[in-house]
Structure 1
Amino acid sequence: MKKVINISMIALFTITFVSCKKEGNKAVIKKDNSQETVLADNGEVDSTVGYNTDIKGNKSIKTDYVYQATDGSPVKVIFDYNPDDRNVSIRSNNKTFILKKAEAKPNETVYEKEDMKATVKGDSLVIRQGDNVIQLVKTRL
């Protein structure tokens, strides 16, 4: 009885191994590797834009950040990278300021509204309003 089971297992293994082809599964849809990249005004990649990368390597634009002011208070900053209307929303002390993108360079983006100006450079965000200068640093969660 053991011989019959062993022979049938070997036969089943051999048939399975021989029938496998190395062509791969043709039913799998090929992944589109074209990712939308946010560009600065001069056509170069805007390095101030952060990306989330999932397990499969797909990038998505990260829009929410928590910054910290020099006094330690948290500031929520939301970047909207919609190509038609790029802006930044800065929320602190239950007040929200929305500034429109004015200028972008490869390492720096400037947002403005009336007398308020926000400059994003790397992990820092500097807000200028009149004579007041507020420096924010991106927190690491």
Structure 2
Amino acid sequence: MKKGLFAAAAIIALSFTACKKSESGNKSVLKSDNTAQTVNDSITDPNLQYETDVNGKKYIKTDFVYKATDGSLAKVVFDYKEKTMSIRSNNKTFILNKVDSKGNESVYEKMDMKATVKGDSLILDQGSNIIELVKTKI
């Protein structure tokens, strides 16, 4: 009886010490900062997003995956130095130049294609085709 009681007390004690939650969290999770930031202390871009790696070093996140209303995916890469964005979908890549940025909205254009980026949404306007995309968390 004493051995059984001792074993049960030991198991309960171990379960309390083994199940403590750590306040520091998962070190491999990247944290994002979605506030409007500057690139090279001169270019303000409301869609600029910083990520923090496991060592605490900040870097600019430039590539995102967007999902259209029909379920298709597109990879969008922003080049803040060149002021361009490239959209890749169905093995086709379109590179658009930044023409305007006001508030939290940026507009990119090239020939008949226009892209408006506002927060997590991206609206492509190509002639009579309007495609709405939303940033995914892949």
TM-score norm. by structure 1 comes to 0.65
Match of 2:98 in 1: 101
Match of 2:128 in 1: 131
> How large is the RMSD of aligned CA atoms in angstroms?
2.0
Count of equivalent residues: 101
SS at match of 1:37: strand
SS at match of 1:72: coil
Structure (1 or 2) with the larger CA radius of gyration:
1
The reply to whether residue 110 of structure 1 matches residue 111 of structure 2 is no
Distance (whole Å) between structure 2 residues aligned to residue 70 and residue 129 of structure 1: 16
1:60-93 alpha-carbon deviations (Å, 9 max, x no partner): 11111110010001101111111xx210000111
Structure 1: any 5+ residue segments left out of the alignment? 1-35
How far 1:49 sits from its partner (Å)?
1.3
- Flag the 1:56–1:105 CA change in 2: closer, same or farther, 3 A: farther
Larger relative contact order, structure 1 or 2 (CA cutoff 8 Å, min sep 6)? 1
Judging by fraction of residues, say which structure has more strand. 2
Counterpart of 2:90, as a letter, is N
Structure 2: any 5+ residue segments left out of the alignment? 1-36
Distance (whole Å) between structure 1 residues aligned to residue 103 and residue 56 of structure 2: 23
Q: Contact 1:88 / 1:111 at 8 angstroms: preserved in 2? A: yes
Identity score, percent: 61
Match of 2:74 in 1: 75
The 5-angstrom pairing of residues 48-59 of structure 1 reads 48-59=47-58
TM-score norm. by structure 2 comes to 0.67
Q: Contact 1:44 / 1:106 at 8 angstroms: preserved in 2? A: no
